[in-house]
Structure 1
Amino acid sequence: MRRVNAESQRMTPAPGSATALRRLAVPGGILVAVAAAFAYVGTVDPNEPGHYPACPLLRYAGVYCPGCGGLRSAYAVVHGDLGTALGANAVAVIGYLVFAVLWTVWVVRTIRGRPTRVDPGTPLLWTLGALLLVFTVVRNLPFGGWLHP
């Protein structure tokens, strides 16, 4: 009978091994999808009419939703114009940065063979929802015109 050492079971494969590459398939696929979306938005200008559908909330109710200006901000980010991106939708730009940080943490933990668990918790989710609601309300009030896309 062969005895297995508990320490040998915990060893993680080398970063270049097939197992590590297999584990990176999902984060890699997500990166490819996000990069493709940004590449498309970077080549098809959302500032020119007719390329993308209009926001239904803005079109029918005249209210800016939290996502209004998100495509224009992505276009500006692709072209390296951070000021325009922030002016189009600052929340979207913050979202791009948060995605980049979380994706990087995910990849590093995956390479090291550590589990990645995202559990933001109820208070954080309520706080983020409240901040999005405040952003939406303020950008639709007369003094919040500087937040319009």
Structure 2
Amino acid sequence: MSLPSRSTLSRWAPLAVTAGLAVGATVVLRHVSPYASNSPLPGCPLYALTGLYCPGCGSTRCLYSLVHFDWSGAMAMNPLLVISLPFLLLMLLNNAGVRMRALDPLMRVLANPTFWLVLLVGYAVLRNLPWMPFALLAP
């Protein structure tokens, strides 16, 4: 029996680590509610210090809702996370070598750090605006 090559391990390691973290987070979020007043799950430090929502604010409650199949609750807490999860999975699969030629143009956009920087900063700004429809982006 031969061991997998180093390049194979380095390609699949991010996907394996992410899958392990996802399983662990699912187990925790099935049993611990971030909505409870005595919840051990941490809140957002940026929000605690400034009162401003970061792009990740509401992510724990969003994932809690997803684990409990509450799609509308998840969208209410962090719609960008809900929409981004399938794309993040595609990126991990692409990194591992699972590529679909039809998705190459999309993968070029998703692999661009500038895209994510503009998306996350823009989302952070928009979700802090107090008028409709942007107020719907706040958790």
Q: CA RMSD in A?
A: 3.0
Q: CA offset at residue 30 of structure 1? A: 3.2
Residues 1:89 and 2:78 are matched in the alignment: yes
29-38 or 137-146, which deviates more: 29-38
> Which residue in 2 is equivalent to 1:136?
124
> Match of 1:37, as an amino acid?
A
> Match of 1:91, as an amino acid?
L
Distance 1:29 1:134, change over 3 A: closer
Q: Is the 8 A contact 1:72 1:85 kept in 2?
A: yes
Q: CA offset at residue 107 of structure 1? A: 5.0
Residues 1:47 and 2:32 are matched in the alignment: no
93-102 or 57-66, which deviates more: 93-102
Counterparts of 1:29-40 in structure 2 under 5 Å? 29-40=17-28
- Paired residue for 1:80, among 47, 55, 69? 69
Quick check: which has more Rg, 1 or 2?
1
Counterparts of 1:1-149 in structure 2 under 5 Å? 19=3, 23=8, 26=13, 27-50=15-38, 51-106=40-95, 109=98, 124-143=112-131, 144-149=134-139
Structure 2 counterpart SS, 1:142: coil
Q: Normalised by the size of structure 2, how large is the TM-score?
A: 0.71
1:61-99, Cα deviation, whole Å (9 max, x unpaired): 111111100001101111112221111101111232222
> Match of 1:101, as an amino acid?
L
Q: Is the 8 A contact 1:69 1:88 kept in 2?
A: yes
Whole-angstrom distance in 2 between the partners of 1:103 and 1:125: 15
Q: Normalised by the size of structure 1, how large is the TM-score?
A: 0.67
Whole-angstrom distance in 2 between the partners of 1:29 and 1:72: 22
The gaps in structure 2 that reach 5 residues or longer are: 99-106
Whole-angstrom distance in 2 between the partners of 1:40 and 1:18: 36
> Which residue in 2 is equivalent to 1:7?
none
> Which residue in 1 is equivalent to 2:102?
none
